[in-house]
Structure 1
């Protein structure tokens, strides 16, 4: 017998975007369900850095103190590792906003009242903090369950979810797609599959024992791709990158063996051979788990509300990861949508109004960084342009600080200014 449960909103995906909207709506009196296909904790292909401009939002979501207690060191410098070039410049602090919550005095004196710089926390920890907060707020969690169909049902919609051989139907007037953009599927909010030589695939690993300065986050530029490194929690260094499909295929053809290299082996070797800064930082490091892979990534701006489904996070639109703003955009898009939904009239007309207002707010907050990231990524993967970029940064390192500002790292979330 198929089970049926009814809610005010159903969120598909329990990443930062999905839990942000679910938490906010639940704390405003909505009956919310989250459908998540994976078992937590789980690691994700993600740079894991969170800009300081998000910390007032994390406090609003009531995980700010837990995030501060677990996250890695403050990132006060931004850098560039490309070939033999190793350059750095100051990271711009977040603009003045509400003070951070007070905490116990630190060893070197009273804790600062404002979080001026971002930090990194592994998704295996961060996503669990968010989901536990959602559960505590009364959100019903269906996990591990996969949403396989969405069908109209009068003024609401039915979502069919499966866990093994068991099927459950969940019904709500508001459906939020927070499932990301990397995996194609049968849902109307999911993107179709394509296969282009220029597609970018994402890779990520954790290592321990790195010699990278703990307050430095360098951009890595190498033939066919780009990436980043950042000191995260518990002594882990998070290293992530994107590489073109055609370059990856070429790298996997090992010149001295009949068999091909694995994708992870090819990417790891390419990074070490292409960037002196990476070689130096990882010379004595040890792997903390296997490399992860995902993709292809789908940068660009998509419809935020279509066919009665709202999109948040990467489903709504994503920037190239070159600017390290993925988690920020996910959290903030969930917040923006929840604010619009919670004050909109009921019924389809109210949802359409919320959809138009949310899309306008999304574009106002994110479109500049999406376009800036696309331009920077285009430079990074073009050999001639990447060489010119390295030369410019060597002579004018302050360009790195300007780039961090353009990426949105100092821009506060609406409602917290």
Structure 2
């Protein structure tokens, strides 16, 4: 039931080049997010169709989402109307300086990959960003420490040129003039007191990119009761950098995000239906002693069918309990299911991105069941597909108008 607008990250080469600047972090980007939200709700051609508005940011974009919540609280429209109904920060950076230091100066593989990617983006946009020209030579890759200094200096130069009095509250009287201002104002832990916009922060404790000890843990320690108030912090043991859907499944991950948004969308509610129809496509043979463990759906660009991958477990004396056994205890079978074999109309994905979207949708909407339930640790044969359908309905009136 949602329409989605995707905004470019300020750290992308295209964004930096087109705007002739190098800037990062939610302190500045959150202000742009707030202005985009104002336009959507109060000035866009489709403003009359907008019932509620929600912000979601991932990774460094999650840092922007957190500051969007802050600006949402301090800058209401006409003193009482907030732009955003809720905010979600998924696997976010929370304190930029120690996080960048870990990524730019660290010696691990993740740090090297991140540093190389950032440097390549900077080189790509270099000619269009005057603030960089006396700071670094694009033909000579600097050390991680120097690269971090360049980022701080370039961001401070750009933000110091912003006209006085135009920054949003609560930072209107806190101008940026030097790199230390950039780093300190981008520490969300220090800005997180009193958040009233419903905000979900979802961290993975095994995050190898944005270290939990530098990000999620300090926020959790500052807000030990954050599962009860407007600021909700969810720390899952696994989900290494935004991969909760891989660890816990599409359905569980989507349910967390969807439920949070729906809880703060007062203009509608969702009626969920589960529609069943028989399996009519070729199904895998299940040898004696094997169990169905998992079914995964995958769409490909230009193809009019799904590949359905069945993961099977060899339930014999050589293998221990499912989930605790060596890889040789598992087998996979892949079956094709044409779009025309499903009781709904699906468009052939024209691009790789469309195929990825359709894949995520299918994994959260289709379940394969046997006679007594879903095929998870089951020795039953596939008999039916369950399609999970969400229907948006307006709330009914419970009193006299």
User: TM-score normalized by structure 1?
Assistant: 0.22
Q: Larger radius of gyration, structure 1 or 2?
A: 2
Between the two structures, name the one with larger relative contact order (CA 8 Å, sep ≥ 6).
1
Higher strand share: 1
User: TM-score normalized by structure 2?
Assistant: 0.22
